[in-house]
Amino acid sequence: MAAELHVALVAADREVWSGEATLVVARTTSGDIGVMPGHQPLLGVLESGPVTIRTSDGGTVVAAVHGGFISFADNKLSLLAEVAELSDEIDVHRAERKLEQAKAEGDAHAERRADVRLRAAAGR
């Protein structure tokens, strides 16, 4: 059995996803970081962006994470985000509409949020 790490993706009001994985790629404020089993204990600040989790059965889970933290210790990885959505849960049309609306209104915050959603949805 290949080495595995346990991942818990937690939003403020629910646990979004949890399971075993072989690789997790997330974007911290100082750049993308990939975590594999046996990584050194780590605590970082996440940027808004898609998080890619390679599960141990060969699948890929992509989630849109809007700010938050990544912490890894003892082969347990937690991704904490105020808002997190799995790519399957994202409504692409709605996100596209929101993106256009945000662009029209010049709302940089909403634009980024919609953009992150779309990128996560594209990566699935």
Partner 1 sequence: MGAQLRVYKRRIRSVTATKKITKAMEMIAASRVVKAQRKVAASTPYARELTRAVTAVGTGSNTKHPLTTEADSPSRAAVLLLTSDRGLAGAFNSNAIKAAEQLTERLERAGRQVDTYIVGRRGLAHYNFRERKVAESFAGFTDEPTYADAKKVAAPLIEAIEKDTAEGGVDELHIVYTEFVSMMTQTAVDSRLLPLSLEEVAQESTTKDEILPLYDFEPSAEDVLDALLPRYVESRIYNALLQSAASKHAATRRAMKSATDNAGELINTLSRLANAARQAEITQEISEIVGGASALADANAGSDN
Residue 45 near partner 1 by CB under 8 A: yes
Which lies closer to partner 1 via its Cβ, residue 10 or residue 23? 10
Determine, following the binding rule CB under 8 A, whether residue 12 of this chain makes contact with partner 1.
Answer: yes
Under rule CB under 8 A, residue 42 binds partner 1? yes
Assigned token pair, 28: 């911290």
* The only residue of 4, 10, 103, 119 in contact with partner 1, by rule CB under 8 A: 10
- Of 5-13, 52-60, 90-98, 102-110, the window that binds partner 1 (rule: CB under 8 A) is 5-13
On whether the CB atoms of residues 46 and 26 are closer than 8 A, the answer is yes
**Phi, psi for 6 (deg, rounded to 5):** -95, 125
What is the crossing angle of helices 92-105 and 108-122, to 10°? 150
What does the DSSP 8-state code read for residue 105? H
29 binds partner 1 (CB under 8 A): yes
